[in-house]
Structure 1
Amino acid sequence: MVLEQNKSIVLEFYKAINQENFEQAKQMLAPNMVAQLMSGAVIRGGNNFVEHLQMARSTFPDVYYTIEDVLAEDNTVVSYGTFMGTQHGEILGIAPMGNQVKFSIVQIDQLANGKIVEHRTIGDSLTMVQQLRGENLVWLSDANSSSVSPE
């Protein structure tokens, strides 16, 4: 029962973020929660984390998180999905070119007393940077599939 409640809380959090309902999102975070971002930066405090998410909307105003798989064990919920958005602000020193990005993310949330107390995001930052720069790289195995033969 607790596992399903924890999954529901995490899914409602991402739904609130997608709908820009930041007040609702704050209610699902412990005041002293800790968030570790893809960049490795650490944000302390639920209000500060929500402020960061609001600021991210200035860079990607149409940001949308899609959650495809959710697993829960004990007090931990792991979700796998995609981050999608169109760049309208500078990020990582890359000027906005209006490029759309879509890349995989894994988010790990720990809960206590019905609140998210720790959040970690791991994402495919290589794909994100390539898309921001407008690069369309083809993997060698895709480009030369006829020259690769299984043993």
Structure 2
Amino acid sequence: MSDPGNTFMRRFVQFINTADEMLGEELIAPNAEFYVPFQSDPLIGPPGWLAAINVMRGGFPDVQWTLEELVVEGEKIAARYTMRGTHEGVFFGVPATRRQITVQTMNFYVMANGKIVGERGQPDLLGLMQQIGAVPAPS
């Protein structure tokens, strides 16, 4: 793993953990496309990332991401995170349960000119919904 890729992604984790708009502008291209599993059209630019972060913070105000693994190949980055938080607000229609979540997520990024220009995020939404009691866990 190259040090510049590691440094960049550590700063990106700081952005998603703090929702710092200025840091988002620094790291994400204005026309970047961010695909999320809950809608077919991409979210665009730093405001799109902030919208997705706000969806998570609406249900889990203390949500934090920890970067677990990172693979950098040229302009492509694969990152595995652990997302942790407390279900203290409505999330996809599920009222707060106060349950703690620990969810894995895989995200794939495309870079250009030192900024993210694309991302596809794959959080374990089924596992998350099971942890908050919205979906029964397998027996």
Could you say whether these structures have the same fold, taking a TM-score greater than 0.5 normalized by the shorter chain as the test?
A: yes
Which piece of structure 1 moves more, 3-12 or 115-124?
3-12
- 1:17 counterpart residue number: 16
Q: Distance in 1 between matches of 2:74 and 2:35?
A: 20
Q: Distance in 1 between matches of 2:132 and 2:39?
A: 19
Cα distance change, pair 114–70 in 1 and its aligned pair in 2 (3 A): same
- 1:119 counterpart residue number: 119
Larger radius of gyration: 1
Give unpaired runs (5+ residues) of structure 2. none
Supply the RMSD in Å over aligned alpha carbons: 2.3
**TM-score, scaled relative to structure 2:** 0.85
**Runs of 4+ off more than 3 Å:** 134-139
Q: Distance in 1 between matches of 2:135 and 2:30?
A: 40
Could you tell me how far 1:33 is from its partner in structure 2? Answer: 0.4
- 1:131 counterpart residue number: 131
Could you tell me how far 1:26 is from its partner in structure 2? Answer: 2.6
Counting matched residue pairs gives 138
Identity, % of aligned positions: 24
- 1:143 counterpart residue number: none
Give unpaired runs (5+ residues) of structure 1. 140-151
Which piece of structure 1 moves more, 45-54 or 58-67?
45-54
Q: Does 1:62 align with 2:44?
A: no
Cα distance change, pair 91–55 in 1 and its aligned pair in 2 (3 A): closer
1:1-151 alignment, distance < 5 Å:
3-41=2-40, 42-133=42-133, 137=137
Provide the secondary structure at the position in 1 that maps to 2:109: strand
Map Cα deviations across residues 2-24 of structure 1 (whole Å, 9 max, x no partner). x5323321221112322343321
Provide the secondary structure at the position in 1 that maps to 2:111: strand
Q: Distance in 2 between matches of 1:46 and 1:21?
A: 10
Asked if the contact 1:66–1:82 (Cα under 8 Å) also holds between the matched residues in 2, the reply is yes
Could you tell me how far 1:38 is from its partner in structure 2? Answer: 3.2
Could you tell me how far 1:135 is from its partner in structure 2? Answer: 7.2
